[in-house]
Every structure is written in structure tokens, then in C-alpha cells.
Amino acid sequence: MIHLKLPNEIAKLRSAAELVGKTLGEVAKYVRPGITTFELDQIAEDYILSHNARPAFKGYPGPHPDHPFPGSLCLSVNEVVVHGIPNDYVLQEGDILSVDCGAELDGFFGDFAYTFAIGEITPDKKALLKVTAESLYEGIDRARAGNRVGDIGYSVQQYCESRGFGVVKELVGHGVGRALHEDPQIPNHGKRGDGKKLREGLTICIEPMINAGTEKVCFMEDGWTVKTEDGKAAAHYEHMVCVRKGVPEIISMWDYIEEVVTPPYK
């Protein structure tokens, strides 16, 4: 069931997104060699809870009924594509770290992600971040009323695969609103003109998960962690977008992050 949003609902989504943006901005202040991913998770959780909101990922049911997601952030280092569980791993110079944050505020969900560079990273990792972020904006540009879901996926896939990167197919973007994950699914691959038609007021998360090497991934036994099969790095950028008749409206913002760090994808 697809829910098109009214202006007052989009305003609430924007508020939830703003809180996620500020949380990521707070986390960004501490992203450096020597900190553990668990410590970053605590910073985010405290920030969200102290702003009358709820961490949306914490307790989220997974494929194993006994293992809901334990953290407030998904923290995915290097070959971890997404859904990394906060733990005692100490960030090292040269790592890349994908931080995905979700929060529920006043009945609406914010959900977006950013991949950070820890200190100096290799040119290969830099190229991965650049292509992943650029592919996201390619996808966003197709989020126009009258286009179809496949137009978004096609543009992300083409952009990345033509440059030699692997597009993860098993995990997808999604609608967002009063639920964290709403219809329709928004894959990062597809055919032009395929799938559901996009309509004004549809709010979606577009989130390319892109690998430096093979597109193949493995699912770990913790029920969450997704890694690249070849052990090469992966990146993940995500925005919340409202479909418009003309230029798509990006509801989420990386501004709070980029007040703190230089964009690693440029």
C-alpha cells in the first residue's frame, strides 16, 4: 500500500529528518581513529533520546526472531556493506565507515546514511565513495512524477556498473513515512519504464549500496551484518526524497555532517 503524503505530513517527515541530520552531525564530531563503533552508537542514542525521539533501528525485528537489531545506528566498516552492529572495533586511519541513522519523531520516521573517511583513505576507496554518492544523486534526479521506480534503479545501476563498481541487489531503498519501511521498494537496479509509477507526494529513501569489487554479498550469522563476498570495501549513502512533478525535493540533509567533516566523496 503506497501512501502519498500531504504537505503537513511532509513537514513532519522533514522534522524527523532534521533530527537524524543533527544526530549524524553530532556523531561526525567523534568519527576519528581510536573510537569504537559502540561509542558512536551511544552518542547517537543519547542525542536522539534527549530530543523527544526514538532510535528507529533499536529493537527492529530481523530474520532471527531472537535477534532484533541491538543498536541505534548501523555502523558498517570497510567490507561491511550495511547493518553493521555497534561493537568494540576501534576505528583505524584509512577505514571507511558507513553510518545509517533512523529516528521516529512525532509519529514519523527519518532514515538516512553517510559514509565517512577515517583520516586519509586510499584512492580506490575515495573513488568508491565518489561513485556511490554521485549515483545517489543520479537516482534522485529520476524521482519525478510520471517516472517509474525502475527509472531510479536503472540510473543508479548504470552509473556504477559502467564505472566498474558492484551494485548490491539483495537490499533496497523504500518508502518512508509513518513507518520506517513503506511501499514501494526502491531497488538500486532495474529497467527504464519498469515498476510502479511515481506520483507527487510519494516519499522514499534512495540508498545505493555499492561495492568496490563484486556485487555479491554474504549475510553473517548474527542475522544482520552484510559483507562483500570478496572482502573489498563497500559504501552506502542515503537520502529521503519527495517525488515532485519537477525537481525532486530532498527532505534529508547532510549539512550538519558537513559542517564538521570535509565531504569524503568529492
Residue of 196, 186, 191, 192 lying closest to 241 (CA atoms): 186
Considering only CA atoms, give the Rg of the chain.
17
- Contact 234/79 with Cβ under 8 angstroms? yes
Residue 109 CB, shortest distance to Mg ion, in Å, is: 9
- Contact 99/114 with Cβ under 8 angstroms? yes
**Which residues in 61-90 contact Mg ion (CB under 5 A)?**
none
Neighbour tally for 252: CB within 10 Å = 26
**Which residues in 224-263 contact Mg ion (CB under 5 A)?**
238
Contacts with Mg ion, 155-194, as mask; x by CB under 5 A:
----------------------------------------
The yes or no reply on residue 205 touching Mg ion (CB under 5 A) is yes
Residue 123 CB, shortest distance to Mg ion, in Å, is: 27
The yes or no reply on residue 18 touching Mg ion (CB under 5 A) is no
- Chain position carrying cell 529520476: 142
Q: Which stretch binds Mg ion (CB under 5 A): 57-65, 86-94, 201-209, 257-265?
A: 201-209
Nearer to Mg ion, 113 or 118 (CB): 113
Q: Which stretch binds Mg ion (CB under 5 A): 56-64, 109-117, 146-154, 214-222?
A: 109-117
Q: 111, 134, 138, 151: which one contacts Mg ion (CB under 5 A)?
A: 111
Compute the distance between CA of residue 23 and CA of residue 27 in angstroms, rounded to an integer. Answer: 6
Compute the distance between CA of residue 209 and CA of residue 229 in angstroms, rounded to an integer. Answer: 14
Compute the distance between CA of residue 201 and CA of residue 107 in angstroms, rounded to an integer. Answer: 18
The yes or no reply on residue 100 touching Mg ion (CB under 5 A) is yes
H or E, element range at 109: strand 108-117
Site for Mg ion, rule CB under 5 A: 100, 111, 113, 205, 238
